[in-house]
Amino acid sequence: MKYAVLDFETTGSGMTDEVIQAGLVIVEDGKITKRFSSYINPTVEIPPFITQLTGITEDMVKDAPPLDEVLLHMIPLLDDAVLVAHHAAFDVSFLQRSLEQCGYLPFSGRVLDTLDLLRILFPSMPSLQLSMVCKEMNIHHDRPHQADSDAEVTALIWIRCLEKLEDLSLLTTQRISALFEDDSSDLSWFMQENRFRKELHISSDEQSGNYHRQFELNVGEWPEETSAREDDPDPALKGIAFEEFYKDLKARLQGGLKQYEDRSAQEQMIHEVYDSLEDDKHLLIEAGTGTGKSLGYLIPSLYYAIRREKKIIVSTHTINLQEQLRERDLPLLEHIFPVDFRASVLKGRSHYLCLRKFEHKINGSDFESPKEDVITAAQMIVWLSETMHGDEEEIHFGNKGSDFWHSVSSDADSCLNRSCPWFRRCFYHRARHEANIADVVITNHSLLFTDVKADHRILPSYDHLVVDEAHHFEEVAGKHMGMNVNYFSLVNPMLILLKDSRSGQIPHLRNELEQLDDDKSSEWMSIIDDVIPKIISAKEHWDKLTELLYELTTATASQDPGQGETGQMVYRLKTDVLPAEWDTLAGIENNLYIELSDALKKLDKIISEVKEHEDSDISQLGVDMNSTVRDLLGLRDDIRMFMKLSDPGYVYWLEANSYYKGKSLSLMAVPADVSGKLREHFFEPKHSVILTSATLSVDKSFQYAAEQLGLDTMTESGRVRTKLLASPFNYRKQALVCIPRDFPGVRGPGGETKFTDMLADSLRDVALQTRGRMLVLFTSYRMLKLVHGKLKEQLGSQGIQVLGQGIDSGNRSKLTRMFQDSSGAVLLGTSSFWEGVDIPGSALTCLVIVRLPFQPPNHPLVEAKSEMLQRQNKNPFMKLSVPQAVIRFKQGFGRLVRTGQDKGIVIIYDTRVLDTYYGKHFLYSLPGPRIEHMRLEQLVPRIRDWQETGE
């Protein structure tokens, strides 16, 4: 088959834009056989931003042939070819328009998009951006955004896709082809052709692989429980003291790791963690950036778990860190550890695929969004033949992929357990099984608290816990011990039950029952007919309730000029001053409660009987409906709890967004103080809890963290130890902090406008000196947008790209990649960029902190915590606001220096660090950089001097 791989560079994407360069590569029999490329002289000027993006200038096209001459060379190459492009809709639209404009017949051949094939065949590909795909496939891309280069690499990517198609098993190929059978698209034709060709050359008995119920898997049945050291009757490491063990392990590390370097802070951490585990003590330990804290707690944890035959749980805040431990740290330790050990990763149940649900969905072609869902299903069929874990994190979905995943993810209420035909291959039960036999289990804070709410039925029993990223522990505790119900929380499960008269679990069940034609089925259908109007009525009550609650929120927000800069509005509810219309709202909620309760009670009765039905389709529907009904029962109770404001220890508030009105509404309820619960569930019953982070201390003290976590009352008894470990980096030489002391504040009439104007001008001057490579951290999205507009205009002409969070992309990972891929860029970020962004090396040499990261004092949770402190005769600003901001400030500062070789400048435009009595707490918490303040006019010369001399 002949493929013509096409790429155009154009003056833009509008109807009046023109092609300025064409690239065409012919692929035949899996090889490139011809190439054609040419600049094209357009009749319009090339905009500056296109020149900046592509490098194509007016001089480069002025002597180029016109469009019709170029097409004359291209048309014969397109003859009898399947057209292939990356984002094909764009290139094909310009091709057809160009052909029509020049009087040629339109292209009438088949069109395939590499995006579709990449999604299906490489389901774990983290990004489908052309340069990122090249990076993943180790394809050299020397001139991105030039048509000849883009067409060349797209052709190489297409060849990889053809090779991957060839490698798929016959069964997987047939499964994918079957998904597209009712589709008339070119992609469907291509998949059918591929299946026909493969069936001619491969018989099913030639295929070797792991197959179950007509699916290819990469895993077999999980085995019976066995210990990692079952052949050794004596406890491993028996008689080997920790010092002796660590000395041997360190020698193995030095021998097995070329880049290994001694880190005294890491050694201290290893011993502190081991001593605390051995002595049954809790430990608060701050380990600065570069300490290597993952190994700092894994090494002693594994030794203790193996030696004492105890299980240790390690909990992280982010899934990313869980994956890092699994992919990087644990394999290293497996390589150097003197004895075998088992370490497992366990996530929340919804992170795992339910194979029974997936099989049912594929076999029944149960697709809500046919085009998107078919590609997602094909993607997952390929992924099933590759995955060992069945974990959502491994697969990168398209637009509606997360909705598809939700319909096939594992959940407790629809699980058949040992009755399920997939049980011995179930990914979730495999992960649970592996956790039960592991020495160390890596989980996350979210699952840790879910386990508490489930009476410890999820995680294996444990007495020793390591909490990484512990500065988030109290916040996650509040979220999990509280509730958050948004508009779609209730609507989505309702739509799963009943989308319309033909769609949803209820109509599906009714249709199945109608085929049976017996008395019991008639009885069930009668109940269903009674339930349907009740669910419709409940949905109407919910719509009305959320609409009125939204109006209540907007009315309050309109009186507060500080709210709404991002369209986000917040309204706190207090039992002693409820709004006048609350009784009306409570009445609507009561109607919702009654209608929903009645419907769910009747459905529950049907489900309990239907689940035992001999027809497997009917019984499976009953099982899946059970899960939906349980979700709705829980949501019904959460809404009741919120409207009653029944627990005085909770803070209740509404959140909404002006862009989506009532559909954006969220009902929030969180305990104001979780310290008692943390003591009850963790610090009192557990033998040892290790809490670590790069940012736990304030002013070199752990008092704030101890108070928030409930450890302050246990410190005097000697059960809690603390340790502050400095970073091994030489911040005095690696980081210069500059504070322009005459920079204006934001207060007073016109203060914010003046501040923003001067900030934009100063950032421009600094960016020109540093050639971009700058991350600017904001606390206000409104200010970010204003500065972005000014900087983009001023720096664009200088070849410095300006990227704004929520403007150029809302995806933090994508923005970070764009920043790193650019030779010089300025990245403006808000909340999520203060933490968890890792940009080592020369891509980032200047970090800017625009304002100190104080939380809004009128946020309901901050307000409630402040009121609680006031009742205790404590100063909320110094006991809560300042410590919170200091920890956030330290997180932000930590974005600059990520390795021992990184070097750069930090600029703080908030002069409160110099002018106020609390400013010293921020500077004193930094890890020893050089700190200088100067007049604004001296800022750029000082940066230039630092860059040139390092002094």
pLDDT at residue 207, rounded to an integer: 57
DSSP 801-855: EEEEBTTTBS-HHHHHHHHHHSSSEEEEE-GGGGSS----STT--EEEE-S--PP
How many CB atoms sit inside 10 A of residue 198's CB? 18
Question: Mean pLDDT over all residues of the chain?
Answer: 91
pLDDT at residue 512, rounded to an integer: 86
| Among 497, 496, 494, residue whose Cα is nearest residue 538 | 494
DSSP 409: B
* Cα distance between residue 951 and residue 949, in whole Å: 5
Confidence at 893, pLDDT banded by 50, 70, 90: very high
pTM: 0.90
pLDDT at residue 231, rounded to an integer: 61
Region 105-123 average pLDDT: 96
Domains of the chain: 2-167 (3.30.420.10), 484-671 (no CATH), 731-949 (3.40.50.300)
* Cα distance between residue 862 and residue 45, in whole Å: 54
pLDDT at residue 722, rounded to an integer: 95
Q: Is 886 exposed, middle or buried (0-12, 13-18, 19+ CB in 10 A)?
A: buried
Give binding residues for ATP as ranges.
Answer: 287-294
Please report, for residues 572, 582, 672, 860, the alpha-carbon distance to residue 577 in angstroms, rounded to integers and kept in the order given: 10, 10, 18, 14
Question: Tokens 């090396």 label which residue?
Answer: 841
* Cα distance between residue 771 and residue 905, in whole Å: 13
Region 847-871 average pLDDT: 93
pLDDT at residue 739, rounded to an integer: 97
Confidence at 126, pLDDT banded by 50, 70, 90: confident
* Cα distance between residue 168 and residue 447, in whole Å: 36
More reliable by pLDDT, 409 or 622: 409
pLDDT at residue 169, rounded to an integer: 92
Residues of the chain above pLDDT 90, percent: 70
Residues of the chain above pLDDT 70, percent: 97
Confidence at 238, pLDDT banded by 50, 70, 90: confident
pLDDT at residue 929, rounded to an integer: 93
| Among 270, 329, 280, residue whose Cα is nearest residue 301 | 270
pLDDT at residue 566, rounded to an integer: 56
Task: Give the CA angle between residues 637, 643, 646 to the nearest 5°.
Answer: 80
Give binding residues as ranges.
Answer: 287-294
More reliable by pLDDT, 805 or 203: 805
pLDDT at residue 899, rounded to an integer: 83
pLDDT at residue 459, rounded to an integer: 95
pLDDT at residue 863, rounded to an integer: 93
Q: Tens of pLDDT along 133-177?
A: 998 999 999 898 999 999 999 999 999 999 999 999 999 999 999
| Among 735, 777, 741, 703, residue whose Cα is nearest residue 927 | 735
Q: Tens of pLDDT along 382-439?
A: 999 999 999 998 999 887 888 899 999 999 988 999 989 999 999 999 999 999 999 9
More reliable by pLDDT, 293 or 520: 293
How many CB atoms sit inside 10 A of residue 204's CB? 11
Does residue 462 surpass a pLDDT of 70?
yes
Q: Tens of pLDDT along 530-565?
A: 999 999 999 999 999 999 999 999 887 665 655 555
Region 774-797 average pLDDT: 90
Does residue 5 surpass a pLDDT of 90?
yes
Q: Tens of pLDDT along 666-716?
A: 999 999 999 999 999 999 999 999 999 999 999 899 999 999 999 998 887
Confidence at 235, pLDDT banded by 50, 70, 90: low
pLDDT at residue 437, rounded to an integer: 92
What are the E-state strand segments in 694-763? 720-725, 735-740
> Which residues have CB under 8 Å from 198's CB, separation 6+?
170, 173
Region 480-498 average pLDDT: 93
Region 784-811 average pLDDT: 87
For 323, half-sphere exposure in the C-beta direction (CA atoms, 13 angstrom radius) is 9
